[in-house]
Amino acid sequence: MSSSKFRYPTVTAVVIANMVGTGVFTSLGFQLLELRSGFVLLALWAIGGLAAVCGAMTYAELGAAMPRSGGEYNFLSRIYHPAAGFVSGWVSATIGFAAPTALAAITFAAYATSALLDEPSAWLQKGLACGLVILLTLVHAGSRRGSGGLQWLFTILKVLVIVLFCVAAVTFAPAVQPVNFLPTSGDGTLILSGAFAVSLIYVSYAYTGWNAATYLSSELEEPQRTLPWILMGGTLVVTVLYVALNYTFLAVAPMASMTGKVEVGYIAADAAFGDIAGRFTGVVLALLLVSTVSAMTMAGPRVLQVIGEDFRGLSLLAKTNTDGIPSNAIYLQAVLTLTFILTSTFESILVFAGFTLALNSFATVLGVFVLRIRQPHLPRPYRTFAYPLPPIIYLLLTAWTLTFVLLNKPYEGLFGLAVVASGLLFYAVSARHGRTASAKALDQT
């Protein structure tokens, strides 16, 4: 068994760690601005999980049929056109990983300083967030053994802490909140409302990361056999964790205290355990976000690496160190991440990142229909279970979300479209230097 490949548990850990992070520890506060039904709020997270599982099932077919690192960049290049793949890679590099990594680092700093200090400085939080990014960049740009081992350790700790937090909070909270988690009159109308669709924007961002394993396909042992189970297994685990965690938040903390707040986990811990124990729990929850930053620092640069392999003008990004790690790409993503931390607000990053990533995955899931029509004889070691239902469910839910982003958050939505347009311009410039022979050969397969 080759030590130069990532094993099944490590890549499953990447999927879980990429998903469980900023969104689930911050989204509830925004959702409570419009929704106050316990059943509807849990349904929101369950529906988000359904969409993620359907997306993962579809990506599993694409990943098994085209097992090369790069995720959507690889898929869209071969399904549609190299320009589509390049734009996807551009989105992943500028928004898809750098922006969420910045959000996770910012949330880590906010939780840690809020738990330790009464009035934390904004610049102290930015400095702590930057320090975490720099530290993990150095770790992941070093050796594969240190990279995979760190990821697996932090992800196991993350899952255990979330489970223990849920059990302990519900068990020891001084009072259970009067929240009804069973359907009541009016809940059906609320689920079909615009407020629910807007809230689904935040939930879809929280589930972002279920496709992370496809960015490491070429570095995975037996990808055609294991990738489908990694994608679906990791996504199902996270769905259960999300529903349990939001049930806990709502059960132990008053809705009014969490409405509009980012640090809902810390607020729930304080309500359940008191000031001192709540502060300690806040620090622990902050540490959970280390694995999220770690996973994104690990997976994202592989997109830049594949782009560098395909375009001669960007070949510097494809260079690896003696352990086969794309260190140049890792350093570039770190620079982009630090730029987001120092120049942007949490809310602006969250909305336009969620919109742009959803648009990216929408085009990819749609590609499973295109590929079956254009290449019906392509070997498919895994075929999407219950096809075509999972991709249809994903496309309908995502289209609903994208529409409401443009209607309710037009500036952020248009900014995301501007990023896509800039990717097309950058492709035109890069294509002048020519694509490599290996990239052209893949177009013919």
Give tens-digit pLDDT for 238-295: 889 999 999 999 999 999 999 888 778 888 988 998 888 888 888 887 877 887 788 7
Give the start-to-end residue ranges of the domains of the chain: 8-443
CA distances from 66 to 60, 77, 395 (A): 10, 11, 21
Q: At residue 254, what are phi and psi to the nearest 5 degrees?
A: -60, 140
Instruction: Give the percent of the chain with pLDDT over 90.
Output: 18
Residue 142: per-residue pLDDT? 64
pLDDT, tens digit (0-9, with 9 covering 90-100), for 67-113: 765 677 788 888 998 888 888 878 877 777 888 888 889 888 888 88
Of 274, 241, 37, the closest CA to residue 173 belongs to 274
pTM of the model: 0.77
Q: How far apart are CA 57 and CA 358, in angstroms?
A: 16
DSSP label at 219? G
Class for the domain spanning 8-443: mainly alpha
Q: What is the dihedral of CA 230, 233, 234, 240, to 10 degrees?
A: 180
Cα-Cα-Cα-Cα dihedral sign, residues 356, 308, 232, 60: positive
Of 241, 239, 240, 243, the closest CA to residue 49 belongs to 239
